[in-house]
Structure 1
Amino acid sequence: MPPEPPVHPASAFTHDGATLIWEARGRGSTTFVLVHGIGMGRTVFTGLADLLVEHGRVIALDLPGFGDSPEPARTPTIERLADIVAAFVRAERIQDPILIGHSMGTQVIAEVAARHQDLHSRLVMIGPTVQIGQRRALVQLRKLAKDLADESPKVLITGAREYLRAGPNLRRKMRAMLVHRPEIIYPRISADTLVLRGEADTVSPRDWCEFVAAAIPRARLREVPGSGHETMIKNPEPAARLILEWLAEL
């Protein structure tokens, strides 16, 4: 049997007064950097990471104030989160990273690509947020509740645990997500981009994802049949397959 890919203990990285926690697995010239959504943490990517680690190094992040990362003195904007992620990529000397973001994480990696083009990133945007005209907290919470109505216990338990860990400032973090305008930066993204959504995703509806894919010059849209917004948690195999097929086509 081949040796198990190495697992590195979680480490901290601090930039501009905020700290993220990161954990790396595997080896190889290809590096996947996984960026979670609002209220989540790196553990939501466990299933997807298990599949991607066979194809390179996988690094999962806890953004500042999420997961195991300490709460920063002030709630970061999406732009500041992107700068922190970019600083981490540079500090670790990661060449041509494949940035995989889910939900709010898609906003973060979009800003990384637009603001830090020298990193030569490739992007996978799973369930991009937030649709124009729907940027109110109650609207988003209703959409998420509808999406989760038929989800598996695994998804519900994972999500509930991570939201509790997100701490008392979740409202301010959601506001930072909702005031961000990703459509302004999409045309500035030169990176190859895969927009990926679950077929039944009510948080990231198809017309919005079509808009996102059309706005980014080098983007493609793919759907995961029978999945909702948390597609990479419930059943990561189809998402991993589509990501790897897309990379093979580049």
Structure 2
Amino acid sequence: MSATSDIHLAPPLATCVYGDGSAKFVGLHGWNGSRDTFDALYERLGEDSCILGLDLPGYGDSAEPTRWELEAVAEQIVATIDHELGPGPVSLVGSCSGGIVALFVAPLLGERMERFIFLEPFAYVPEYLRIFLKPAVGRLFYYSAFGNPIGRWITNTALSGHRQDDTDMMSSFAEGSLKVPLEYLRLFDSIPRPDDFADLPGQIELVYGEHTFDAIRDSVETWSEIWPHATRLEVEGSGHLILKEAPDAVAKLVFDRE
């Protein structure tokens, strides 16, 4: 983290808060998502729960971060948590790369961190995404895949084995800035080794779909070695977008611990 924080200069993040229970959750959406990612949880909120959804800096209705660094993003998220939820224990629900962001948020929460529910837990940027970071050709491949309807259709079709038939993995790329997800991809590719997060506070839960990517399954094994105390749950019948494809199962895991 930089010695001098400019978090006070950052505009507030766009948020929504559901419920007023004592069990407080924060949803951190994945690559090119928004706070709407957690609609399924908002609709299935536990009786004694409260959940904060937010647009990560640069996404949805939130302005871009003052610095393109995960430490700066994490600072802004913690400031938002403090403002919206106040002090006390909090649990993070990180969806896909939102869980990577949570790795930087959790240490700032410290003893306040209760649970870390990591949905579709990547431990590294797979080669099929790193290709978009290659010099010269990367941007061409990126905008070809995500920047036009035909490219998005081809990409979504190629991912059919990792989603249900009625799920579109590319729909979010039809609107909003394509620059922002590319900037986040660069950040994710620059993070430290996974074992640098071995001392993450709180209870850790790894959740993944039955038909997820091989990179996720490899990552679950990696995280399980780093966090031997973590629990694991494979969600039957679901692909990568488990909040859309298995909302009841995820809500039960998050809100009903009996």
- TM-score tier, shorter chain, comes to 0.7 to 0.9
Choose which of 79, 88, 103 in structure 1 pairs with 2:80.
88
Where 1:188 maps in the other structure, the secondary structure is: coil
Q: Deviations over 1:189-215 (max 9, x none)?
A: 131011111111106432321221331
Counting matched residue pairs gives: 231
Distance 2:65 2:224 in 1: 33
Map of 1:48-197 to 2, 5 A cutoff?
A: 48-74=41-67, 76-92=68-84, 93-131=86-124, 134=127, 136-138=129-131, 145=156, 146-148=158-160, 151-152=163-164, 155-156=167-168, 159-161=170-172, 164-181=175-192, 183-197=194-208
Distance 2:247 2:104 in 1: 25
Distance 2:206 2:195 in 1: 17
**Bigger Cα displacement from structure 2, 227-236 vs 163-172:** 163-172
**RMSD over equivalenced CA pairs, Å:** 2.9
Q: Which has the larger radius of gyration?
A: 2
Choose which of 210, 216, 220 in structure 2 pairs with 1:209.
220
Which residue is 1:3 aligned to? none
Offset of 1:121 from its aligned partner?
3.2
Q: Contact between 2:70 and 2:101, CA under 8 Å: does it hold in 1?
A: yes
Distance 2:70 2:39 in 1: 24
Per the normalisation by structure 2, the TM-score is 0.77
1:203–1:73 distance in 2 versus 1, CA, 3 Å: farther
Distance 1:213 1:18 in 2: 37
1:169–1:241 distance in 2 versus 1, CA, 3 Å: closer
Per the normalisation by structure 1, the TM-score is 0.79
Which residue is 1:44 aligned to? 37
Q: Deviations over 1:156-201 (max 9, x none)?
A: 17x5236622443332221112212361432111310111111111
Q: Contact between 2:22 and 2:48, CA under 8 Å: does it hold in 1?
A: no
Q: Taking every aligned residue pair, what percent have the same amino acid on both sides? A: 23
